[in-house]
A and B are shown apart, each in its own frame.
Chain A
Amino acid sequence: MSLIKLDDVSKLYGFGDATTLALDEANLSIEKGEFVAIMGPSGCGKSTLLNVMGLLDRPTHGTYKLQNRLVDRLSQNRAARLRRDTIGFIFQSYNLLPRLTVLENVALPLAYKGMGVTRRLKAASAILERVGMQNREYFYPYQLSGGQIQCAAIARALVNEPSIIIADEPTGNLDSAGSRLIMELLSEVHKMGNTVIFVTHNPELTRYATRVVYMRDGMIIQDESTSVGQVAKTAKARLYSRPKKSVEDDLAGVSLLMKTVPDKESSEPLPHRKKKTQTKRRPNTKAKVKGRLDT
């Protein structure tokens, strides 16, 4: 039994001519305790996939089973309850509420659970201690560095003891030291038995993952297991060696050529072609002249 099971999940945005296919019949199942990295170019549907898995968004087609329960057509309120109890979100832009202190921010999910003020602040304080933020409890988000804010955001995601942590580019706005701090924290969370799913652009960060999913144009194009501590093979290939030939090599610039050719008309050839013909012709003429001289 999978923790998360997506079957032919599609997501369409807009309608008519402006329809975009953000997810194209994606199939994915994630087991309990996995540490999944999702990679792919921007606009490939990674975030949409995360949002669908995190019950923030509903798929247009296909079915989604969370803990063996069909959840793709839940009402807003039931989705909210499920989010509150089983899923913790971490965002690229942190998304702490600016007017609340770190402690209050972390305690907020407990407030929505109906916990009393004293108890929830105590619980939040305990979680903040675990992420090493105990001496920043009464700071406001704008008084902290990016890494610290993201630590607080992780604490907020953990405070409800969710089984799934979903992180959308958690290190996207951080420097390498901050990234390391956050990834170490996430892998600690993973070690405690949580399932962690995160999106990243940085192939180095696949070292922390146990599985890497590659996406392109809304489709899952590759799915490989990897051992912790090593960069995943496909990611490594992308990181250390430039691909010899890609679709871009064949296509890039063609449209440019097609635009410029009709403009310049056939009578006036492109500059480099002209050059080429000139260089070709020159030796010939020389030869001819030479020949004439010779003769």
Chain B
Amino acid sequence: MSWRSGHIHTAIVSMRVNRWRSLLTMFGIIVGVASVIVIIGITQGVKNEITNQVNAYSKDVITITSTAGNSSSFGVSQVAAVSVLTNQDVRSVSKIKGVIASVPLEFLSGVAKGDKSYPSGLVIATTPQLPEVINQPLVLGAFFSPNDPNPFAAVLGYKASLGLFNQNVPPLGYGFTWHNQQFIVSGVLNRFKATPFSNNTLYNEAIFIPTAAMTQLSINSSGIYQILARVKHAKDLPVVAKKIETVLLANHGGQKNFSVLLPSQVAKSSTSVLNLLAALTIGIAVIALFVGGVGIMNVMLVSVTERMHEIGIRKAIGASNRQIMSQFLIEAATVSVAGGLIGIVLALLVDFGLKLATSLSPSISWKVIALGAVISMAIGIVFGSVPALRAAGKEPIEALRNE
């Protein structure tokens, strides 16, 4: 209907006339929309990175974890609990058809001392097949092998190599002590791209030693934390996972105290906490939006009262109730959509700032922007309807009497 274009014009004029008032009215909407978009952007960005990483390093790797302790996806709490996975399980898994290699990961602790002391070190006992599974080349040297004359060889994660030795010297062949035992560095792993909530951050800081060495030192470990199994063809993943489950169930006497995770599930479990955080923050942003809506309602009610005489004139020259109503609805929607647009621009700026200042790389999709626009319009219409109805229902003569 063509007269509506007149309403938009009127709305913009009245916004221009009451510039400050409109801006203050929009404030709640601006904050709400901007924060919703930023939070969704950050969450999506982190998720993307996790998925990318899963694809880069372990897109055909099945992860088997013990669920005897608890089911949290943060590894640390499970390190404390005694795992039910055994070396027997590792061997059974590697025999399954379709599995190229399977390795156990056992987490140990203790201060290692090379040129410098490295207290934050995490020591992972594993088997020589690890490089085949984690799809990451060594930047220096070679991974330890079963044929090594010295069983106390070690491979360092990128950060661990910096922490133990002076940076200008390649640490190959150097020694460090751990639990009173001299270890010789045989290789350094390439740097894993770090993301929150993933194993790869741990790998960068870890010192890898052979399981055999650990057994010889008779150190108490909490058992095998994870078994990683690499599958030949990525498309066989579900089938192989099923087989692994059957075999392990047999090994554990029918006790389902472990879980077999596909790469996608690993990503999902590490983002579940993220989702919860995002949901909470979005909840708060929704409150901001609600408050913004109430602000719009308040200002529109004032505006309707102020412009009662105008309403009277419009009615006298033939405006129907619906036309008056849509005039004020459009005005409310215009204010809130303008607020929404400012919020979107603000969110884009904040995301740009985050990209520059932090390691986060938020990703804002067009869908999210459209969502912001739709939300702001909906708020305008919902909260504008009460003032609009009030304006529309006024008797023309009463409205005209208001000066």
Contacts and interface: CB of A to CB of B under 8 A. Distances in A.
Nearest to B313: A95
B324 to A, nearest CB: 9
B169 to A, nearest CB: 78
B70 interface: no
A160 B318 contact: yes
A231 to B, nearest CB: 31
A221 B396 CA distance: 28
Secondary structure at chain B's binding surface: helix, strand, loop or mixed? helix
Nearest to A81: B320
A54 B322 CA distance: 20
A267 B241 CA distance: 124
B317 A156 contact: yes
5 contacts: A51-B397, A77-B321, A81-B320, A99-B17, A108-B317
Contacts of B321: 76-77, 80
Interface string A39-62: 000000000000100101100000
Given A80-B320, A97-B314, 6 more contacts: A57-B395, A76-B393, A99-B13, A112-B320, A116-B2, A156-B317
B397 A85 contact: no
- Which of B316, B318, B323, B397 lies at the interface centre, i.e. has the most chain A CB atoms within 10 A of its CB? B318
B6 A83 contact: no
Contact of A77 (B5, B309, B314, B320): B320
Interface residues of B, number: 27
B245 interface: no
A109 interface: yes
Nearest to A52: B397
Interface of B: 1-3, 5-6, 10, 13-14, 17, 309-310, 313-323, 393, 395-397, 400
B315 A80 contact: yes
A57 B317 contact: no
B317 A112 contact: yes
Nearest to A54: B316
Contact of B317 (A76, A99, A109, A115): A109
A288 interface: no
A207 interface: no
Contacts of B3: 111-112, 114-115
Given A80-B315, A81-B320, A56 B2 contact: no
B6 A57 contact: no
Contacts of B10: 99-100
Interface string A85-124: 1000100000111011000000011011111110000000
Interface in A52-84: 54, 56-57, 76-77, 80-81, 83-84
A56 B5 contact: no
A77 B325 CA distance: 12
Given A51-B397, A56-B397, A56-B400, A117 B317 contact: no
B326 to A, nearest CB: 11
Contact of A80 (B310, B318, B393): B318
A89 B317 contact: yes
A156 to B, nearest CB: 7
Given A95-B313, A97-B313, A99-B14, A113 B322 contact: no
Contacts of B310: 97
Contact of A56 (B6, B316, B322): B316
Contacts of B309: 95
Nearest to B17: A99
* Nearest 7 pairs of A and B residues by beta carbon: A84-B318, A111-B3, A80-B320, A116-B2, A57-B397, A109-B317, A56-B397
A114 B314 CA distance: 14
A109 B323 CA distance: 12
Given A77-B320, A85-B318, A117 B313 contact: no
Contacts of A89: 316-317
Nearest to A76: B321
B289 to A, nearest CB: 30
Nearest to A47: B397
A112 B396 CA distance: 15
A83 B316 contact: yes
B30 to A, nearest CB: 25
B81 to A, nearest CB: 72
B3 to A, nearest CB: 4
Contacts of B17: 99
Contact of A113 (B5, B316, B318, B400): B318
A170 B322 CA distance: 30
Contacts of A56: 315-316, 396-397, 400
A114 B2 contact: yes
A112 B318 contact: yes
A117 B129 CA distance: 77
Nearest to B324: A80
A281 B47 CA distance: 118
